Structure 1
Amino acid sequence: MKDVILGIDIGGTNTKFGFLDRDGISLVQGELSTNEGETVHDFLRVLYQEVMTKFKKIEDEANLIGVGVGAPNGNYYTGTIENAPNLKWHGSVPLVDLLKQYFKMPVFLTNDANAAAIGEMVYGGAKNMNNFVVITLGTGLGSGIVVNGQLVYGHDGNAGEIGHTLVNVNGRGRMCGCGRKGCLETYVSATGIKRTVYKLLADSTDYSELRSVSFNDLTAEMITQAAKRGDKIAIDAFEYTGKVLGMKLADTVAHLSPEAIFLFGGLVRAEEFLFDPVRYHMEKNLLHIFKGKVKILPSGLGLNNTAVMGAAALAWNEMERGATA
């Protein structure tokens, strides 16, 4: 019987989970809506039921020894989710304590993007890197920063909020769920590119297959597929998204001088429509001492369970160094 970790990725829209062994192999996985129920207690009750239903499929071969969780605004130090703008649970949510009521074992929590960075370091493209950044492009924009081989948490556990650095400083930027205007994630995320598409549609008369799609029905995947079919509005939306992200990543390079910046999330499926403008505009805006030194790469973990692998890697790392959270 092999030991496994339950990795949980709580996203703004969906929550994914899986049981992974030390090599990052998933024995079984599942998914549910993060909006299940009215409260976090309702959500965790449903989550536990789903998890245990899946675990029954492997209980004869697996020994569950711990839980790792990646979540928006998840604080590694306190075990709480703190005022996550993309979740409907407001205030400070003591997630680790709540999960321990269900799982009588060590539970570890960090920011979802930090979890992705740990996964990239343990299982992915950053195995031999000591300085890199992971950017998660989902409902919002998260970031995990590794410096000298160590994840950067900051003095209070909240370091790495590149998605809430400002793009627009004149007060007329897009409204963000955090309550401020002009945050990067309002331009560069699945939600951000939807807003860009509608701005482009309003400002032009160009044909686009996206004109007949309501804002609520529009998805980043639709925009990606439209771009691949040659839709000008979709292509322009990715060009604008890549320009904004590339410019801000040039700032990130000035702060951190990473070897590479990894992108993952649904928008990565757009491939060159996203990566080409990001690379171009980052390089264009880099300080000359950094030019030609920083790689922009897709996650080395694939697109389906990157964050789940990262959450599991967090727990594996913590337990192997003797932590008992």
Structure 2
Amino acid sequence: MGVSVGIDIGGTGTKLGIVDDDGNILAKMEFGTWEFNVFEDYVDELGKLTNSMLDELGKSTELQGIGIGSPMGKYVDGTIDHASNLPWKGVLPIASLLKNHFDKPIVITNDANTAALGEKVFGGAKDFNDFVMVTLGTGLGSGFVSNGHLVLGFQGFAGELGHVNIGRLEGRTCGCGKKECLETYVSATGIKRTIFSLMAKRSIDSEFRHVSFDDLSTKDITIAADKGDKIALEAFQFTGKILGRKLAEVVMLFNPEAIFLAGGLSLAGDYIIKPTRKYMEKDILDVYRGKVQFRSSELGSEGASILGAASLVKGEFSK
């Protein structure tokens, strides 16, 4: 049985899975991306875990190749270039290093691209040829599909929505070194920053006043919103407003049939989706209004990214 490996490198964790031709994830593992200070040690861990999963599945499985989704994954060179949300700096030759472990095709692209591809091949975007995938994790990623094809651009970096400038708000510094990038407000990290910013400005009670920044999660914020916490509710409104206005620009530039949300922050459901849709619809021209479907990923960020990365091996992005 032919199988592919899908690797999803995130700013917090790395997930990898063995995937068959029907999109079944036969085995999967994960570990902390930040556990390794030396990139070569990190790649060695990927090799060890992949071999471990293949050994468990037995000799009947034949590895066809490895697909990787990573922040700033560069398809044309097989590298990760200057990813601000990862612990290693510079240009990282991940494909050539993994070749030391596996003499198989190794393909890499942006992690949001793999999420978009997974949704297209196996998830809720099967019937859409023009859509945008927005991943809301540690940072904000985006993948654009046009005419059924991933939009990669000249260098393979097309669709970096997370680093577009939103104008002057609070002067937040991004991990990339710029100020006021979209992901400094719209991401798991961004909404946490908003929570603490609001608490500094408001005197109202909130359960977050007894929680440290590092201990706070998007799940905690959603639970607090369910309980009526005013800081949580305002944070979601603020975040959705910023995202919606930027997506309005995307709609007018790209004219997608649908926009999909994935990642931890998207699990907040209507708390993030309703204000996002509201401000997107408000800012677009009449010709687009009511025409763009707004959906959550059917696969979840983990499933979409692993399946999409595995699909890279067969060149699904170019079909």
Q: State if a TM-score over 0.5 links the two structures.
A: yes
Residues 37-96 of structure 1 show CA distances to partners (whole Å, capped at 9, x for unaligned) of: 211111112222222222222124422111000000001111110000101111111111
> Who is 1:187 aligned against?
185
CA distance in 2 between counterparts of 1:214 and 1:275 reads: 26
> Who is 1:164 aligned against?
163
Secondary structure of 2:57's partner? coil
Residues 163-212 of structure 1 show CA distances to partners (whole Å, capped at 9, x for unaligned) of: 11111258x52101111111000000010000000011111121111111
| Kept in 2: contact 1:22–1:316 (CA 8 A) | no
| Kept in 1: contact 2:149–2:317 (CA 8 A) | no
AA at the equivalent of 2:303 = N
CA distance in 2 between counterparts of 1:316 and 1:23 reads: 12
Secondary structure of 1:64's partner? strand
AA at the equivalent of 1:107 = I
> Who is 2:75 aligned against?
76
CA distance in 2 between counterparts of 1:38 and 1:238 reads: 34
> Who is 2:271 aligned against?
273
> Who is 2:238 aligned against?
240
| Kept in 1: contact 2:135–2:301 (CA 8 A) | no
Number of paired residues? 319
AA at the equivalent of 2:18 = F
Alpha carbons of structure 1 residues 49 and 200: separation in structure 2 relative to 1, 3 Å: same
Correspondences of 1:112-127 after superposition (within 5 Å): 112-127=111-126
> Who is 2:104 aligned against?
105
> Who is 2:136 aligned against?
137
Alpha carbons of structure 1 residues 103 and 247: separation in structure 2 relative to 1, 3 Å: same
Secondary structure of 1:42's partner? helix
Q: Which runs of 4+ in 1 moved over 3 A?
A: 318-321
Paired residue for 1:256, among 250, 254, 276? 254
> Who is 1:26 aligned against?
25
AA at the equivalent of 2:115 = A
CA distance in 1 between counterparts of 2:163 and 2:292 reads: 22
Residues 193-242 of structure 1 show CA distances to partners (whole Å, capped at 9, x for unaligned) of: 00000011111121111111111211222112222222221111111111
AA at the equivalent of 2:210 = S
Moved more, 217-226 or 25-34: 217-226
Percent identity (aligned): 49
AA at the equivalent of 2:274 = D
TM-score by length of 1: 0.94
Correspondences of 1:12-51 after superposition (within 5 Å): 12-51=11-50
Uncovered stretches (5+) of structure 2, i.e. residues with no partner: none
Paired residue for 2:215, among 182, 202, 217? 217
* Superposition RMSD in Å: 1.6
AA at the equivalent of 1:240 = F
> Who is 1:55 aligned against?
54
Correspondences of 1:292-311 after superposition (within 5 Å): 292-311=290-309
Paired residue for 1:196, among 194, 197, 205? 194
Q: How far off its partner does 1:104 sit?
A: 1.4
AA at the equivalent of 1:134 = M
TM-score by length of 2: 0.96
Secondary structure of 1:288's partner? coil
CA distance in 1 between counterparts of 2:214 and 2:48 reads: 30
Uncovered stretches (5+) of structure 1, i.e. residues with no partner: none
Secondary structure of 2:174's partner? coil
